């Protein structure tokens, strides 16, 4: 894979050197960004699952957000290819070894633009500038964003001049796997029988523990491993701006069927999200906020690294007597930030948000609950053109997790340090 990366860079370099010989209407721009995280993480004993508080240092390349890319334009045809320097022998924070960020082409057909390939989806619109938690750039799972990120598919973008905005429509690759802190799970639902004693699993996971789990006894739904899709995921967004105010509405829907190879019973796993955000700026001051409500976000295809842990409960199959019963999870989240630009070199941003997930257990007639929140402080310093250092403090309260009327305090985590970024 490293040889492939070197080859891609070499091809891009040779291609650029040959540009003068190309037709005048063809243009290629190369760009990149190198980003390094240097911060300390403090966890309390409730969060790390031991008898003591703990502290650790992260001093590493942000291989998820660092990038190298090329943009191509020739008349109405365009393209963007963007890769990242992930080490194939050292999976990323989310267990991913993918090197591809963007790989798409565009066609301007007049009223709009057709986009074919993988790039940002219509529901991707974070408002928080956090970069320390896995280099995500937003606090997915703590109220920010609430949609998907980069997905392959076909999109159509239509400028709406009357509101200085954009209408985006997309048919995307449907999500049928669940993202997990260390792996991709092929079991796309949780299967449960009658619960017994409470067990904390895993004991400690500072990247977003899954929390208390209940072992099953007796009969459980069996053989639900056959996954079928019939339609692509569907997303749309509509944005606009009036003077100092900007806004966006977004929504998405993903569905797949999971069938038992033992009984041939089939269950539909439907996940969806609807949300809105706004921004207001006047002089050096700005304020931004977003909110969303959703169903089965853990199965929707939300942002890595921790879609399961970030979005609480999986859609679950319960063996209720002789009947297999599907229970969905419901989720709400919101995030807000305020910022002030002191000079062209220094600014300040402070934010807070939270998300709440609930799921019913029909066997015990109780509602399980999962709550998380976070606050952030950033002080970006523009050292030179293309070079920025950002002191950050990110505090995450992993909150209370209530399963079968038993509540567990999962403690909190504080990250503080510097984020280094050079763009070229």
Q: How far apart are the C-alpha atoms of 259 and 222, rounded to whole Å?
A: 10
β-strand pairing of 150-160 with 165-172: antiparallel
Residue 65 CA from chain centroid, whole number: 13
Residue 74 CA from chain centroid, whole number: 32
Name the residue among 33, 14, 162 with its Cα closest to residue 423: 33
What pLDDT digit, counting tens, does each position of 292-338 carry?
Answer: 999 988 888 765 444 455 777 878 887 777 778 888 899 999 999 99
Query: Percentage of residues in the chain with pLDDT exceeding 70?
Result: 78
What pLDDT digit, counting tens, does each position of 14-50 carry?
Answer: 443 344 444 458 899 999 999 999 999 999 988 888 8
273: tokens are 């999200």
Task: Identify any residues that bridge with 31 across adjacent strands, giving them in sequence order.
Answer: 69
* Residue 135 confidence (pLDDT): 59
Asked whether the CA dihedral 2, 91, 295, 125 is positive or negative, the reply is: negative
Question: 92-101, 277-286, 347-356: which has the minimum mean pLDDT?
Answer: 92-101
What is the total residue count of the chain? 424
Considering all CA atoms of the chain, what is the largest pairwise distance in Å, rounded to the nearest integer?
A: 74
Under a CB-based contact definition with an 8 Å cutoff, are residues 67 and 83 in contact? yes
Q: How far apart are the C-alpha atoms of 16 and 74, rounded to whole Å?
A: 14
Within 8 A by CB and 6+ apart from 60, the residues are 36, 37
Question: 133-137, 361-365, 381-385, 413-417: which has the minimum mean pLDDT?
Answer: 133-137
Would you give the end-to-end CA distance of the chain in angstroms? Answer: 24
- Supply the range of the domain harboring residue 210: 2-423
pTM, to two decimals: 0.82
Across 4-18, 54-68, 375-389, the highest mean pLDDT is recorded for 375-389
* Residue 311 confidence (pLDDT): 77
**What are the helix (H) ranges across 98-139?**
none
Under a CB-based contact definition with an 8 Å cutoff, are residues 99 and 81 in contact? no
267 vs 273: which has the higher pLDDT = 273
What pLDDT digit, counting tens, does each position of 191-250 carry?
Answer: 544 433 333 333 333 233 333 344 343 456 677 778 889 999 999 999 999 999 999 999
* Residue 96 confidence (pLDDT): 55
Domain count for the chain, please give it. 1
Residue 399 CA from chain centroid, whole number: 20
> Tokens 């790390």 belong to which residue?
48
CATH number of residue 340's parent domain? 2.40.160.10
* Residue 125 confidence (pLDDT): 87
289 vs 205: which has the higher pLDDT = 289
* pLDDT of 343 above 90: yes
Under a CB-based contact definition with an 8 Å cutoff, are residues 331 and 294 in contact? yes
Q: What is the mean pLDDT of residues 347-368?
A: 91
211: tokens are 């929390």
Examine residue 202 and say whether the peptide bond preceding it is cis (omega within 30 degrees of 0). Answer: yes
What pLDDT digit, counting tens, does each position of 76-110 carry?
Answer: 999 999 999 876 555 554 445 678 899 999 999 99
* Residue 298 confidence (pLDDT): 80
The DSSP line for 202-242 is SS--TTT---EE--EES-----EEEEE--S-EEEEEEEEEE
* Residue 87 confidence (pLDDT): 65
Residue 143 CA from chain centroid, whole number: 11
Query: Percentage of residues in the chain with pLDDT exceeding 90?
Result: 49
* pLDDT of 137 above 90: no
Rounded-to-5 percentages of helix, strand, coil across the chain: 10, 55, 35
Mean pLDDT score of the chain, rounded to an integer? 81
* pLDDT of 120 above 90: yes
């Amino acid at each position: 894979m490293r040889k492939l990366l070197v080859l891609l860079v070499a091809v891009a370099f040779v291609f650029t050197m040959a540009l003068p010989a190309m037709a005048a209407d063809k243009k290629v721009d190369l760009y990149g960004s190198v980003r390094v995280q240097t911060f300390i993480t403090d966890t309390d004993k409730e969060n790390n699952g031991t008898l003591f508080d703990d502290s650790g240092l992260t001093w590493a390349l942000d291989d998820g957000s660092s990038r190298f890319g090329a943009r191509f334009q020739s008349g109405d045809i365009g393209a963007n290819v963007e890769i990242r320097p992930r080490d194939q022998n050292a999976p990323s924070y989310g267990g991913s070894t993918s090197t591809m960020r963007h790989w798409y082409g565009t066609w301007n057909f007049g009223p709009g633009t057709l986009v074919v390939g993988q790039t940002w989806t219509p529901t991707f619109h974070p408002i928080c500038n956090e970069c320390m938690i896995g280099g995500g750039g937003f606090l997915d799972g703590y109220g920010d964003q609430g949609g998907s990120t980069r997905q392959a598919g076909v999109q159509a973008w239509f400028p709406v001049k009357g509101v200085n905005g954009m209408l985006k429509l997309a048919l995307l690759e449907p999500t049928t796997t669940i993202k997990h802190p260390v792996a991709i799970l092929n079991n796309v639902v949780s299967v449960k029988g009658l619960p017994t004693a409470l067990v904390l699993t895993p004991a400690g996971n500072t990247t977003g523990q899954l929390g208390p789990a209940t072992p099953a006894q007796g009969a459980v739904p069996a053989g639900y491993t056959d996954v079928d899709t019939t339609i692509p995921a569907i997303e749309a967004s509509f944005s606009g701006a009036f003077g100092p105010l900007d806004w966006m509405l977004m929504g998405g829907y993903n569905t797949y069927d999971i069938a038992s190879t033992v009984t041939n019973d089939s269950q539909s796993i439907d996940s969806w999200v609807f949300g809105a955000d706004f921004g207001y700026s006047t002089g050096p001051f700005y304020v931004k906020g977003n909110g969303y409500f959703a169903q089965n976000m853990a199965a929707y295809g939300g942002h890595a690294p921790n879609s399961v842990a970030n979005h609480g409960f999986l859609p679950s199959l319960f063996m209720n007597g002789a009947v297999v019963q599907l229970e969905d999870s419901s989720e709400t989240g919101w995030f807000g930030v305020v910022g002030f630009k002191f000079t062209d070199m220094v600014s300040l941003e402070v934010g807070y948000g939270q998300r709440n997930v609930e799921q019913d257990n029909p066997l015990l007639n109780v509602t399980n609950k999962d709550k998380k929140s976070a606050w952030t402080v950033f002080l970006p310093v523009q050292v030179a053109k293309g070079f920025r250092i950002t002191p950050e403090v990110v505090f995450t309260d992993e909150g209370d997790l209530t399963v079968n009327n038993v509540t567990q305090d999962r403690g909190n985590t504080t990250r503080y340090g510097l984020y280094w970024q050079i763009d070229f």
